[in-house]
Amino acid sequence: MLARARVARLVPLDSSSFFSKRLASTKSLKETLQEVIPAKQEQLRRLKTEHGQAVVGEVKIENIIGGMRGLKAMLWDASVLDPIEGIRFHGHSIPDCQKVLPPAPGGKEIIAESMLWLLLTGQVPTTEQTRELSRELAEKGELPEFVETLIDSLPATLHPMTQLGMGVAALNRESSFQAAYERGIKKSEYWTHTLEDCINLIARLPVLAARIYRNVYRPGTPLPAINKDLDLVGNYSNQLGYGDNQSLTEYLRLYIALHGDHEGGNASAHTAHLVGSTLSDPYLSYSAALFALAGPLHGLANQEVLRWQLAMQKEIGDNITHENIKDYLWKTLKSGQVVPGYGHGVLRNPDPRFIALQEFCNTRPDLKNSPIIQLVTKTSEVAPDVLKEHGKTKNPYPNVDATSGCVLYHYGLTEFKYYTVIFGVSRALGALTQLVWARALGLPLERPKSYSMDALEELIKK
């Protein structure tokens, strides 16, 4: 974990800037990165030269034919997912982050800007730095007119995730990295233009996502202007039409911060990394990530949970008992279906993100007394034992999807197909920050070796 910045010494800025001396509390995001990057570059150099031949794991046939699951084969510096402890962001657990990362004015929950700063720099931002970043994002949040025209021309029946991916890809006309690469720049400058693209994209994603929501679900409803005094998610909630619901806004802040990164091996993060390794700009890289996120085995999980919970609620009615839930769980399993919201590709304990969202629910009487949230809570008390008895899952505990969509539903955001769009807004925090680091560290084109089944059988014989 890198130490928090102390009083700044003279820091070289880009050629269009000047030398400045600032207190740590007022350093910009770019200035902070200019201090952090050389240390990380040196750490990478040492790993390559001194430990390049160290063995960190072995490849088995089951890894190759099982989707490379569990292979230690990717550099992703922002977060590490431990099977027992859960996710840590630059060494900080979720409870740590809830204690130290600045919230929005008048709020209590982590906000996207705080998490973005931590993921990008490895440092906890000051309140002043977070507020300045909020203002920068608000100032850069407007969509180009041609993107508004494109999104407004799409049929309302086109899936919101398809629209989001198309809008992000179209924004690449504005790419600073692409323009700089075409005119010819040094590799050492790649990261600065990548950073500019990433900040611009993060600023515009909520506006793009809100426009899609209004077009599909609230046609004809005007979008409010961006409020320069609000944080990123405060503006997002306002543009969705829920700005007067402070509980939902706070929940969206927590949801988006917690979903911001979950190490690099998940499909959307890995896709952004893979496409980015070709030197595609961040807009193209993240549009590809969004289409990975749209798959039923990845980002659609929370809406599947909600459908399943509502079906259970309809069947058992108001008599929500552990025994009735247990019967419904067995009915689901015996029909050959999985129990959505339980299990995880890496975790072997309850997901800390699920715990954080449940704690949020427990602090608000309206959520604590909500029938759907009560059903989620009681299901989480019964399901692990049923799944253990069933014996076909490595992790019988709830993951974040077990509750995330149900809270949105309680607050009136009931459009299931849109839930993954919110996930897409959040996952940009981690995927895009690591594109900056991939360019700063000069990471190469990703190119794993593939084998046919015949070739694998030959390897086994040898």
The Cα–Cα gap between 228 and 208 comes to 17
CA atoms within 13 A on the CB side of 214: 21
Of 92, 351, 401, 410, catalytic = 401
Cα 317 to Cα 93, 314, 324, 369, distances in angstroms: 38, 5, 10, 15
Find how far residue 406's CA is from the centre of its chain: 18
Which of 92, 193, 344, 410 is labelled catalytic? 344
- Residue 351 token pair: 């997901």
CA separation (Å) from 238 to 182, 336, 343?
Answer: 38, 42, 34
Pairing of strands 79-82, 86-89: antiparallel
Residue 259 and residue 357 in contact, taking contact as beta carbons nearer than 8 Å: no
Contacts of 390 (CB under 8 A, 6+ apart): 333
Tell me if residue 317 falls in helix, strand or coil: coil
> CB neighbours (10 Å) of residue 393?
16
- Name the active-site residue from 96, 159, 298, 390: 298
Token pair for residue 344?
């995880």
Q: How would you label 190-226 residue by residue, b for 16+ Cβ within 10 Å and e otherwise?
A: bbbbbbbbbbbbbbbbbbbbbbbbbbbbeeeeebeeb
Contact 340, 308 (CB under 8 A): yes
Answer yes or no: 51 catalytic: no
CA 322 to chain centre: 33
Contacts of 51 (CB under 8 A, 6+ apart): none
Identify the burial level of 48 via C-beta atoms within 10 angstroms of its C-beta, where 0-12 means exposed, 13-18 middle and 19 or more buried: exposed
Catalytic residues: 298, 344, 401
